[in-house]
Amino acid sequence: MSDIADFSASQLLSLYRDRQLSPVAATKAALERINTYNSSVNAFATVCLLAYKLSLQNIKIYWYCKQLKLMKVFFLS
């Protein structure tokens, strides 16, 4: 597989649908890319890894519930 950070949004969606890649892996690849190049290009003033870690838990819950077909139950509140 090529570097995940180089994939387009449509390529990522296709890989998600085929269960060849998770959004978690794509996010990790993007953060690794930022970590590698941001010091030279200074594209991001702040990268909040705490927010990423909290979001990661939500992503895992979302995909778990989606696989179990629990989305309606999970998000009804």
Give the pLDDT confidence of 22-66 residue by residue, as tens digits: 888 888 898 889 888 988 988 877 777 777 777 777 777 777 777
- What pLDDT score does 77 carry? 43
Question: Is 50 exceeded by the pLDDT of residue 68?
Answer: yes
Question: Is 60 exceeded by the pLDDT of residue 15?
Answer: yes
Residue spans of the domains in the chain: they are 4-75
- What pLDDT score does 76 carry? 46
What is the pTM assigned to this prediction? 0.62
Cβ atoms of 32 and 5 closer than 8 Å? yes
Pick from 32, 55, 35: nearest CA to 44 = 35
